[in-house]
Structure 1
Amino acid sequence: MEQAFKQIIEKQGYWRGQDRVLVAVSGGVDSMVLLALLQRLPQYLRPAEIGVAHFNHHLRVEADDDAQAVANYCQQHQLSFYLGEWLEPTSENGIEAAARQARYDFLLATAKEQQYDMLLTAHHGDDQVETLLIKLIRGSSLQNMVGIRPVSWREDVKIVRPLLAFNKASIENWATNQHVPYWEDASNQQDNYLRNRVRHHLVPQIANEAPHYVEKWADFTNQLNLANDLIKTRVSELYPQCVVTVAQQLYGEQLDLLKWREFSEAERYFLLSEFFQRNLIAKGGTLSQRQLQQMISDLTTAGEQVWTLADNWCVQKSYHFLKLSNQQLSPSEKIAGSISQLGDQFTLPNDGLLMLEETQKLTQERDEVIIPLDWLPLTVRSYEPGDRFVLDASGQTKKVSRLFIDKKISKTERLNIPLVLNRHDEVVWIVGFRKSYLSIVPETDKIFYKLTYYKR
Structure 2
Amino acid sequence: MAATPTPRPKPPDPPAGNPARVALAGLQLPLPLAVAYSGGADSTVLLLAAAERWPGQVHAIHVHHGLQAAADDFEAHCRAVCESLGVPLQVRRVAARNAPGESPEDAARNARYGALARAARDAGLQAVLLGQHADDQVETLLLALSRGAGLPGMAAMAPVFQRDGMVFVRPLLALPAKGIRDWVAEQGIAVVEDPTNSDIAFTRNRIRHLLLPALEDAFPQYRETFARASRHAAQAQELLEGVAAEDLARMGGVPAITALQVLPRARQANLLRHWLRVTHAASASAAQLEELLDQVADCRTRGHQIRIKMGAGFVERQGERLDFRHPREGGDPGRP
- Which category of TM-score, normalised to the shorter sequence, fits these structures? 0.7 to 0.9
Distance change (3 Å), C-alpha of 1:8 and 1:65? closer
Alpha carbons 1:134, 1:195 under 8 Å: kept: yes
Alignment of 1:309 with 2:308, yes or no, is yes
| Structure 2 residue aligned with 1:60 | 68
Q: What corresponds to 2:284 in structure 1?
A: 287
8 A contact 1:21–1:47 mirrored in 2? no
Does 1 or 2 have the higher relative contact order (CA < 8 Å, sep 6+)? 2
Per the alignment, residue 445 of structure 1 pairs with none
Pair 1:156–1:277, CA change in 2 (3 A): closer
The CA deviation at 1:204 is 2.4
Please name the residue that 2:87 is paired with. 79
| Letter of the 1:256 counterpart | I
Deviations for 1:163-213, whole angstroms, at most 9, x for unmatched residues?
Answer: 111111121111111222201011111123222222222222222222122
Distance 1:104 1:292 in 2: 28
Q: Is 1:256 the equivalent of 2:257?
A: yes
Q: Matched residues in 2 for 1:158 and 1:169: separation?
A: 28
Q: Residue in 2 aligned with 1:51? A: 59
Aligned residues between the structures: 314
* Inter-partner Cα distance in structure 1 for 2:277 and 2:186: 47
Residues 323 and 55 (structure 1), Cα distance of their counterparts in 2 relative to 1, 3 Å cut: closer
Per the TM alignment, residue 31 of structure 1 is displaced from its structure 2 partner at its CA by: 1.0
Say which SS state the counterpart of residue 45 (structure 2) adopts: helix
- Distance apart, 1:121 and its partner CA: 1.1
SS at match of 2:113: helix
Alpha carbons 1:122, 1:163 under 8 Å: kept: yes
Task: Establish whether residue 274 from structure 1 lines up as the match of residue 274 from structure 2.
Answer: yes
Q: Is the 8 A contact 1:308 1:315 kept in 2?
A: yes
SS in 1 for 2:69: coil
Per-residue CA shift, 1:253-305, capped at 9, x if unaligned? 34232x334434543331233344457xx365x63223433544564456444
Q: Does 1:33 align with 2:45?
A: yes
* Conserved? CA contact 2:19–2:180, under 8 Å: no
Residue from 135, 154, 160 that aligns with 2:169: 160
- The alignment status of 1:238 with 2:247, answered yes or no, reads yes
Change in CA separation of 1:2 and 1:266 when aligned onto 2, cut-off 3 Å: farther
Q: Does 1:141 align with 2:133?
A: no
Larger radius of gyration: 1
Instruction: Give runs of aligned pairs for residues 273-352 of structure 1, distance below 5 A.
Output: 273-277=273-277, 282=280, 287-297=284-294, 299-301=296-298, 303-304=300-301, 305-306=304-305, 308-310=307-309, 313=314, 315-316=316-317, 321=320, 323-324=322-323, 326=325
More deviation in 303-312 or 232-241? 303-312
Question: Hey, what's the Cα distance between the residues in 2 that align with 1:293 and 1:25?
Answer: 41
Aligned mates of 2:305, 2:63 — CA distance in 1: 46
**Paired position in structure 2 for 1:208:** 217
Is the 1:23–1:120 Cα contact (8 Å) retained in structure 2?
yes
CA contact (8 A) 1:20 1:49 kept: yes
Matches of 1:314 and 1:34, distance apart in 2: 43
Structure 1 residues 185, 302: CA separation in 2 closer, same or farther (over 3 Å shift)? closer
Structure 1 residue 133 displacement after superposition: 1.8
| Worse overlay, 289-298 or 229-238 | 289-298
Provide the rounded CA distance (Å) in 2 between the counterparts of 1:262 and 1:47. Answer: 58
Contact persistence 2:63–2:112 (CA under 8 A)? yes
SS of the residue corresponding to residue 236 of structure 1 reads helix
Matches within 5 A, 1:1-20: 2=17, 5-11=20-26, 13-15=27-29, 19-20=31-32
Query: Percent identity of the aligned residues?
Result: 25
Distance of 2:39 and 2:67 partners within structure 1:
15
Q: CA deviation at 1:38?
A: 2.9
**Counterparts in 2 of 1:56 and 1:348: CA distance versus 1, 3 Å:** closer
Q: Secondary structure at the match of 1:163?
A: coil
Q: TM-score, normalised by structure 2?
A: 0.80
Query: Pairwise CA RMSD of aligned residues?
Result: 3.2
The equivalent residue for 2:12 is: none
- Residue 8 (structure 1) shift: 3.2
**One-letter amino acid matched to 2:29:** W
Q: Please list every run of 5 or more consecutive structure 2 residues that lacks an aligned counterpart in the other structure.
A: 1-15
Alpha-carbon contact 1:166-1:214 (below 8 Å) kept: no
Q: Which residue is 1:368 aligned to?
A: none
Residues 146, 221 of structure 1: 8 Å contact kept:
yes
